């Protein structure tokens, strides 16, 4: 009897688990769906003037026009090229600085206070100085994007290099590992998940910096499309560009999030606290 009751309860429990899992996957989309429905209804009923907020169909038509003309591909390619180069440079520099800070208390005592002071200056705060120094060309954009990515990677690398489990350090000493062997075989593997989190946050910062820089000083890119639409009072172009910026940022962030989760699952238990 007990086995029969358990067998009957199992399909029901599985169904409940699937329903909960579906609900968890659906929940993040409820607010965007509600906002989209309100947007559509407001435009349809005339609650919002099209000159202030164009209807979704007009935005979709503008996206199609941009895709057919090739403007969407061109400006998207320019923005992705800028963010990948700036993000890559900032990530590499952040890893080097963070590793030095995490491995040496002496370097930390000399470098970290000044680093903390400089990173408090926002991207736009550097803009006037860099405009005088390098002009409005591509180096300006790469420097500001790299600066945005530098901070999270530096801090996460420093933290990751300092959170090596004590038991692994003891094993490294027992096996007689030298300094570089300890870093390569113990410290770095233990820091990988923290580094992945820093890289994901760094891309978010770099993507936001890209849009800001293109809004202020650019004649190409997705940020430029937003500015151009505002100047021409084509709010459908503004909204279409915003949708593309959000969609690309969301997609890349989800990919990095999945990569980070995979690293955490694949990390040996010995490297976890």
Give residue-wise pLDDT tens across range 40-99: 887 777 777 777 788 888 888 889 998 999 889 999 999 999 999 999 999 999 999 999
Between the alpha carbon of residue 112 and those of residues 70, 166, 169, 171, the distances in Å are: 46, 24, 25, 30
* Residue-wise pLDDT tens digits, 177-191: 777 777 777 788 888
Q: Give the closest residue to 197 by CA, choosing from 235, 152, 240, 132.
A: 152
Please give the Cα distance from 21 to 31 (Å, whole number). 18
Residue 162 has pLDDT above 70, yes or no: yes
Q: Which residue has the higher pLDDT, 49 or 228?
A: 228
Residue the block writes with tokens 């429990």: 13
pLDDT of residue 1: 47
Locate 183 and state its tokens: 């870093």
Q: Which residues of 155-180 are buried (b: 16+ CB within 10 A; e: fewer)?
A: bbbbbbbbebeeebeeebeeeebeee
Is residue 191 a contact partner of residue 63, using CB atoms and an 8 Å limit? Answer: no
Spans of all domains in the chain: 1-48, 52-271
pLDDT of residue 132: 86
Residue 270 has pLDDT above 60, yes or no: no
**What dotted CATH number matches 52-271?**
1.10.3720.10
């Amino acid at each position: 009897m007990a086995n029969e009751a358990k067998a009957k309860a199992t399909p029901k429990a599985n169904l409940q688990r699937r329903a909960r899992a579906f609900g968890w996957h659906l929940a993040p989309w409820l607010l965007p769906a509600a906002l989209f429905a309100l947007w559509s209804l407001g435009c349809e009923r005339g609650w919002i003037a099209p000159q202030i907020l164009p209807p979704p169909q007009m935005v979709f038509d503008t996206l199609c026009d941009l895709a057919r003309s090739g403007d969407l591909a061109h400006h998207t390619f320019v923005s992705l090229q800028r963010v990948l180069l700036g993000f890559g440079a900032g990530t590499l520099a952040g890893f080097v600085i963070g590793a030095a800070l995490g491995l040496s208390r002496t370097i930390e005592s000399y470098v970290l206070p000044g680093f903390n002071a400089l990173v408090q200056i926002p991207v736009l705060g550097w803009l006037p100085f860099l405009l005088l120094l390098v002009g409005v060309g591509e180096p300006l954009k790469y420097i500001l994007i790299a600066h945005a990515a530098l901070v999270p990677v530096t801090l996460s690398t420093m933290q990751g290099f300092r959170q090596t489990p004590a038991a692994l350090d003891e094993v490294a000493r027992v096996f007689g590992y030298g300094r570089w062997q300890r870093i390569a075989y113990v410290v770095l593997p233990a820091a990988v998940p923290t580094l992945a989190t820093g890289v994901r946050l760094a891309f978010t910062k770099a993507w936001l910096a890209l849009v800001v820089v293109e809004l202020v000083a650019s004649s190409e890119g997705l940020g430029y499309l937003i500015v151009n639409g505002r100047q021409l009072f084509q709010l459908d172009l503004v909204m279409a560009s915003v949708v593309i910026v959000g969609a690309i940022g969301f997609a890349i962030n989800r990919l990095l999030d999945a990569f980070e989760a995979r690293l955490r699952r694949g990390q040996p238990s010995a490297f976890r606290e």
